[in-house]
Amino acid sequence: MLAVSTAAQAATAVVVHGPAFLIPVLHGRVGLSLPVAGLVAAAPMIGVLLTLVAWGVVVDRRGERFALVTGLLGTAVASALAALGDSPMWWFAWLVLAGACAASANAASGRVVVGWFPAHRRGTAMGIRQMAQPLGVGLAAVTLAVTAEHVGVRAALAVPAVVTGVALVATLAVVVDPPRPGRTAVHTANPYAADRYLARIHLVSVLLVVPQFLVWTYALAWLVDDRGWSAGAAGALVAGAQLVGAFGRIAAGALSDRVGSRMRPLRWVAVTVVLTMLALGAAAGAGWPLAVVLLVVATGATVADNGLAFTAVAERAGPYWSGRALGIQNTGQFLAAACVPPVAGALVASRGYAVTFAVAAAFAAAALPLVPARDEGASPGVSAAPR
């Protein structure tokens, strides 16, 4: 269950993030302007944002297997249709639909993990599942760009269709809905009406996504522009840092299992992000070689909160509301992430990378008092007996 749900999430990450690697070919060879090429690359993300909560409702009402199978099938078909066209409007339309279908995996694959793993192993399992995004981005980076360069854009757009098709077959063969308790008033009650626990986690995640996407977006540019690295060397370091981040998610999840809490490790991660981003800003401003090491540390630290928050939301919302709750969680993060590149770019242009890195620490600092660690005891998931 863990392997296939992770593979399904990684496949949809190829769909959502892969078109960004086509921008150089779309601009240089196809002749699209950079804004138009960027719009094509952003199309799947638009689809995801429009349907995350709706897929959460589907998961809550029809189950994880139905949502994954339906979503992966739609993603594969829409991606294949996108590969049949040769105009930016055609690509944009079908990639929006592909992203809309791919959003099914965000809630459904996480629910498979939460449902099948007992509470004392769930954090580690969710940390492994959270590796799916960097793995999917890495797979897209080494397949779509090369395919587009040597074969063409249409062939590159077919890659996500193939990947999601494989994930669909694996899902059909393996995934079974986890058991749910009967529909009682306790299990079906609106968890948002009880307290602000979920809302606070959502807000904490939105704030912590700012330093995460700042590092993701501008690490390579900083290494090339400020440090004088070649694009190849910078890309290799960024790829290696992504692996650090992937394993950091597992470590954070395992720690949460060991201490019996999601929120205490989440607070520790936020403190680490504050200190790391401040140190990175200072080192970058001073031109110290240590700044490169701190960049790798920041890449790992800024993503370590994702699995903790995701697991906590699913545990508190329960089996009949967690689909919607996870949809709301991801929607807020995606919206914040979409704002980071242009805003941070403007700050870099006016004040430089060092100041921008340091400013990101303020967002993590603002998240610290919002982490609902004291209210976690009421969460049924952390203390629940293994099912």
| Relative orientation angle of helices 153-174 and 132-150, to the nearest 10 degrees | 140
pLDDT category at 385 given cuts 50, 70, 90 is: very low
Whether residue 193 is predicted with pLDDT greater than 90 in this model: the reply is no
User: What is the distance, to the nearest Å, from the Cα of residue 193 to the centroid of all Cα atoms in its chain?
Assistant: 27
pLDDT category at 309 given cuts 50, 70, 90 is: very high
**CA atoms of 386 and 368, how far apart (whole Å):** 30
Q: What CATH number belongs to 2-177?
A: 1.20.1250.20
pLDDT category at 168 given cuts 50, 70, 90 is: very high
pLDDT category at 308 given cuts 50, 70, 90 is: very high
pLDDT digits over 238-270, tens only? 778 878 888 888 899 999 999 999 999 999 999
Whether residue 333 is predicted with pLDDT greater than 80 in this model: the reply is yes
**CA atoms of 113 and 128, how far apart (whole Å):** 10
- How much of the chain exceeds pLDDT 90, in percent? 45
Same fold yes or no, 2-177 and 191-379: yes
- Give the closest residue to 17 by CA, choosing from 182, 123, 132: 132
119 or 354: which carries more pLDDT confidence? 354
∠ Cα 320 326 327 (to 5°)? 105
Whether residue 77 is predicted with pLDDT greater than 90 in this model: the reply is yes
pLDDT of residue 95: 95
pLDDT of residue 199: 93
Whether residue 74 is predicted with pLDDT greater than 50 in this model: the reply is yes
- CB distance 95 to 43 below 8 Å: yes
- Give the closest residue to 60 by CA, choosing from 123, 121, 107: 107
Point out the least confidently predicted range of 63-67, 73-77, 97-101, 326-330. Answer: 326-330
**Domain spans in the chain, listed from the N-terminal domain onward:** 2-177, 191-379
- The CATH class of the 191-379 domain is mainly alpha
pLDDT of residue 105: 92
Whether residue 276 is predicted with pLDDT greater than 90 in this model: the reply is yes
Neighbours of 307 (CB within 10 A): 31
Q: Compute CA distances 217 → 22, 226, 272, 338, 381, whole Å.
A: 16, 15, 20, 11, 34
- Give the closest residue to 2 by CA, choosing from 115, 99, 106, 101: 115
- Give the closest residue to 302 by CA, choosing from 357, 339, 370, 372: 357
